[in-house]
Structure 1
Amino acid sequence: MVKVTICGAAGGIGQPLALLLKQSELITHLALYDVVNALGVAADLSHINTRSNVTGHGKEDMDEALKNAHTVVIPAGVPRKPGMTRDDLFKINAGIVRDLAAGIAKNCPEAHVLIISNPVNSTVPIVCEVLKKHGVFNPKKVFGISTLDVVRSSRFAFEINNAIDPQSTRVTVIGGHSGVTIVPVLSQIPGQTFTKEQLEALTHRIQYGGDEVVKAKDGAGSATLSMAHAGARFTNVILQATVAGKAGLIESTFVNLEADPESTAGFRAKTHLDYFAQDVEFGREGVSKILPLPTLSDYEQLLLGAAIPELKVNIIKGAAFITDDAKI
């Protein structure tokens, strides 16, 4: 049995994410957890004629929702509002993610943990530190889903150059998952012919695409549908690798670099970063290999230089939330 649990399943990301994952032939049990409305969402999805069983779990039922899960996807938390950065969400979402991580450590310590809750640059270290405190941390199984940056990169590049196929072109995105920490490696897109002005505008749009959605929704929400698509895409890659045993699958994701210490030793020594978004090849256990950085243009080198200090602050903030927390 392959049980996938969505924590925050009744929210703006959680509901469309659950709908997309209900289509997967690799999932036999889809468990939906949220503090409100999870049972209703589960009842609705359970009518869809695919093989997976759907169960709903409310506020007092977290342990049952997580018990023996193969994969846990976490979109739980509050959405961004106009003028709010991802880092502004930290104080609100950090406690939510901390408590979910403790539940994972107790009920499904071997699970693959996929984190959507923002700010990812900080929430991933939070989850890792909680799992460390419980003695069940495996860096090969914890992922920050930065796939929306990849999705935006190929779509926005296509809007400038229609010769680029937005579906088959996968852009490597390195760094992190907020603002200047997002470094799309656009120079490696086959056949790209961007001018300097186009490249700068495209990079800025990818880095701050979330703001575009928040503004368009006029304070009524953030990027939920596109994030659900990105989350489902990454979850399906994990399932294809870990359940179906499909080899050669690669996606950019924000991970603890201890997942592949040999490949990342030089980078860690140079940057003093413990977490980074980079192309990862997946295997049965999760991370099979963290791939080397692609060749970067001079412009991308400048972007990376700006990203590293911000990443350090985000990572330290997340880790410190747990190391200084007596509740765990």
Structure 2
Amino acid sequence: MKLINMFSRLTRPSTVAFICRGFSSSPSLFQVSSHTDAHQHHMNCKVAVLGASGGIGQPLSLLLKRSSLISQLSLYDIAHTPGVAADLSHIETRPKVSGHMGPEQLKDCLTGAQVVIIPAGVPRKPGMTRDDLFNTNASIVRDLCQACTEFCPDAMIGIVTNPVNSTVPIASEVFKKNKVYDPNRIFGVTTLDVVRSNTFIAEAKGLDVSKVNVPVIGGHSGVTIIPLISQATPPLSFPQDDRKKLTVRIQNAGTEVVEAKAGAGSATLSMAYAAARFTTSLLEAIGGAEGKIECAFVRSDETEAKYFATPVLLGKNGVERNLGIGKLIEYEVNLLKEAMPELLANIQKGEDFVRQS
């Protein structure tokens, strides 16, 4: 099995059933196949969600509660967590749920966690960029990652909190400071960009969305989001104007939701779905499943940016192999050039925040 082919067959979840398609068998968020049944109950995976009472945290916790790969779901927030945990604990699925509230309960929440997903923070309002969230969310991510370095230094960390282009460098710097940094275990969850690309492109072409896969590279805001339509599965092409319109829509899809919600929040349900998809792939890889590929914003040597999203092959210890950016067409090369100054500035901003705090 050639790794080259895996790039064009990014792991996709199917909402109906798990169909084993050889190399990139797709995880379902809702059902686990008999192929996984054999080892899933030997997996005693504790997953912690930090920010579990929020707009993303609650639906994410609900989706994770449906996973038979998780034995304990540990929920943390600064308010309402006992209620969220009580509510979820009534659901007839495998994970045991615990609720933890306030910084003094972080130790219990995190101790023994193998995977930590962090959606904590404030959402965007109309007119705000992801960068406008920086001041509030930067310190939240810094403090939660500090707790992770103390109580679960070997856990896989999935950062959902925006601006991801800056919060992932913040997480990394905190782990470095505490001398427990492993670049293969810290992920910026950019899965939503892939999910949106698949959805919009399937709609535009009238295709079955479960068969469409579009890798998305770069970062996780505006021009730094680079959908590689030229590398889509199945192969497809668009007139230049249409390609440009689709690209811009994918780049601004978050704003589309922020404006449609008119002050009531940002993309919470689609983000929860995407984060659950990413977490499911990661858990399956930890459990020994092969060929689990997701795009994620990780420490990278692919470009001049220290962090860069590309498809990565997931393994028992996090990133097993970075599958790179592949062959770009001229239009995509130009998108990459446009993205780079902003991406570099975002990364620098995150690193500086930790150095100065």
- Which category describes the TM-score, using the shorter chain as reference length? over 0.9
Once the two structures are superposed, residues 103-122 of structure 1 have per-residue CA deviations (whole angstroms, 9 ceiling, x without a partner) of: 00000000000000000000
The equivalent residue for 2:312 is 280
Determine if the alignment matches structure 1 residue 161 to structure 2 residue 193: no
Q: In the alignment, residue 185 of structure 1 is paired with which amino acid?
A: L
The equivalent residue for 1:260 is none
- The one of 120, 130, 138 equivalent to 1:76 is 120
The equivalent residue for 2:38 is none
The equivalent residue for 1:304 is 336
Once the two structures are superposed, residues 9-42 of structure 1 have per-residue CA deviations (whole angstroms, 9 ceiling, x without a partner) of: 0000000000000011110000000000000000
Distance, in Å, in 1 between the alignment partners of 2:325 and 2:94 is: 40
Q: In the alignment, residue 118 of structure 2 is paired with which amino acid?
A: I
Distance, in Å, in 2 between the alignment partners of 1:67 and 1:115 is: 18
TM-score, length-scaled by structure 1? 0.94
- The one of 160, 166, 172 equivalent to 2:215 is 172
The answer (yes or no) to whether the contact 2:281–2:292 under 8 Å persists in 1 is: yes
Task: Tell me the number of residue pairs that the alignment of Structure 1 and Structure 2 aligns.
Answer: 312
1:227-306 to 2 correspondences below 5 Å: 227-242=271-286, 244-257=287-300, 264=301, 267-268=302-303, 271=304, 273-306=305-338
Distance, in Å, in 1 between the alignment partners of 2:309 and 2:244 is: 21
Moved more, 168-177 or 124-133: 168-177
Structure 2 unaligned residues grouped into runs of 5+: 1-43
Cα drift, residue 294 of structure 1: 1.6
The equivalent residue for 2:159 is 115
SS of corresponding position for 1:28 = strand
Cα drift, residue 168 of structure 1: 2.7
Determine if the alignment matches structure 1 residue 136 to structure 2 residue 168: no
Cα drift, residue 292 of structure 1: 2.6
Distance, in Å, in 1 between the alignment partners of 2:118 and 2:295 is: 18
Determine if the alignment matches structure 1 residue 320 to structure 2 residue 352: yes
The equivalent residue for 2:193 is 149
RMSD, aligned α-carbons: 0.9
SS of corresponding position for 1:24 = coil
Once the two structures are superposed, residues 271-316 of structure 1 have per-residue CA deviations (whole angstroms, 9 ceiling, x without a partner) of: 2x21000010011101000013121111111000011111100000
Once the two structures are superposed, residues 32-61 of structure 1 have per-residue CA deviations (whole angstroms, 9 ceiling, x without a partner) of: 000000000000000000111000000131
Distance, in Å, in 1 between the alignment partners of 2:259 and 2:112 is: 40
Once the two structures are superposed, residues 58-88 of structure 1 have per-residue CA deviations (whole angstroms, 9 ceiling, x without a partner) of: 0131111111110000000000000000011
Q: In the alignment, residue 54 of structure 1 is paired with which amino acid?
A: V
TM-score, length-scaled by structure 2? 0.86
The equivalent residue for 2:228 is 185
Distance, in Å, in 2 between the alignment partners of 1:304 and 1:3 is: 38
Distance, in Å, in 2 between the alignment partners of 1:147 and 1:192 is: 21
Determine if the alignment matches structure 1 residue 26 to structure 2 residue 84: no
Once the two structures are superposed, residues 223-280 of structure 1 have per-residue CA deviations (whole angstroms, 9 ceiling, x without a partner) of: 00000000000000100001x20111111100012xxxxxx3xx44xx2x21000010
Distance, in Å, in 1 between the alignment partners of 2:114 and 2:235 is: 40
Cα drift, residue 159 of structure 1: 1.5
Distance, in Å, in 1 between the alignment partners of 2:108 and 2:61 is: 18
SS of corresponding position for 2:209 = coil
- Percent identical among aligned pairs is 54
Q: In the alignment, residue 308 of structure 2 is paired with which amino acid?
A: F
Determine if the alignment matches structure 1 residue 50 to structure 2 residue 93: yes
Distance, in Å, in 2 between the alignment partners of 1:227 and 1:2 is: 22
Determine if the alignment matches structure 1 residue 66 to structure 2 residue 110: yes
SS of corresponding position for 2:128 = coil
Distance, in Å, in 2 between the alignment partners of 1:294 and 1:158 is: 22
Structure 1 unaligned residues grouped into runs of 5+: 258-263
Distance, in Å, in 1 between the alignment partners of 2:178 and 2:209 is: 42
